[in-house]
């Protein structure tokens, strides 16, 4: 992503904010990394992308903030960024020893049913999107989301954060439509194809 590209994107399109929910990646106090500095960099760049960042350690907090994001008051933040641990078909957060420290795609789908029109959900998690295309299509149909993206394999934290950064920047350069998100997918694959393939980044669209 070139500085010139960022400037052009800022001048030609409406800025789309990011609403990020993030877990504590490490149980060691003061030692857990965070994607918040990356979001702050996007905000201070020529793109000037606003963001909301909230820590999530419980299922109650997760569903509370998902509900907040889905409200009309957050229409200017159409990108949901779930920065969690993950396994196939679910996200994990907080104390992973507890059975309640996880949410399946089924549960997230129910919480967001019909609330995500014109919005994008990105799973910055290991393996969460290692599911069938049919299952992913159902998630998109039931939530109304414009696009859902995420990873199919275990991912390196730094490499995936860098790819997330590029994805969020690319979204600023296109319309929030299926054709616009299709252009985003092409752009990310063209510029970061090796990392996309290595980390198995998946970007699924409505009626794709």
Domain-located, residue 148: yes
Q: Examine the pLDDT at 169 and tell me if it is beyond 60.
A: yes
pLDDT at 13: 62
Place of tokens 């001048």: 11
Domain-located, residue 68: yes
pLDDT in tens, 77-88: 999 999 999 999
Domain-located, residue 207: no
pLDDT at 199: 95
pLDDT at 203: 97
Q: What CATH number does the domain containing 151 carry?
A: 3.40.50
Domain-located, residue 208: no
Cα distances (Å, whole numbers) of residue 35 to 18, 131, 190: 12, 25, 24
**Rounded Cα distance, 98 and 58, in Å:** 10
pLDDT in tens, 64-107: 999 999 999 999 999 999 999 999 999 999 877 787 889 999 99
Domain count, the chain: 1
Domain-located, residue 111: yes
Domain of residue 178, residue span: 3-24+32-202
**Rounded Cα distance, 207 and 166, in Å:** 24
User: pTM of the entire structure?
Assistant: 0.91
pLDDT in tens, 176-202: 999 999 999 999 999 999 999 999 999
pLDDT in tens, 9-62: 444 568 999 999 999 876 655 567 899 999 999 999 999 999 999 999 999 999
């Amino acid at each position: 992503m070139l500085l010139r590209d960022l400037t052009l994107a800022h001048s030609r399109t409406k800025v789309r904010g990011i609403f990020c929910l993030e877990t504590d990646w490490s149980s060691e106090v003061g030692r857990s990394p965070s994607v918040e500095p990356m979001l702050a960099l996007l905000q201070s760049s020529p793109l000037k992308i606003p963001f909301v960042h909230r820590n999530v350690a419980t299922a109650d907090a997760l569903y509370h903030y998902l509900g907040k994001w889905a409200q009309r008051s957050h229409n200017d933040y159409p990108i949901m960024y779930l920065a969690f641990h993950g396994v196939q078909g679910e996200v994990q957060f907080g104390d992973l020893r507890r059975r309640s420290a996880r949410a399946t795609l089924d549960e997230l789908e129910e919480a967001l049913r019909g609330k995500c029109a014109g919005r994008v959900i990105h799973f910055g998690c290991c393996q969460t999107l290692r599911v069938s295309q049919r299952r992913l299509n159902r998630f998109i149909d039931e939530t109304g989301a414009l696009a859902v993206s995420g990873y199919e394999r275990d991912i390196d934290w730094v490499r995936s954060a860098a790819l997330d950064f590029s994805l969020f920047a690319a979204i600023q350069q296109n319309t929030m439509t299926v054709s616009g998100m299709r252009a985003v997918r092409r752009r990310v694959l063209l510029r970061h194809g090796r990392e996309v393939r290595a980390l198995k980044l998946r970007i699924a669209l409505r009626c794709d």
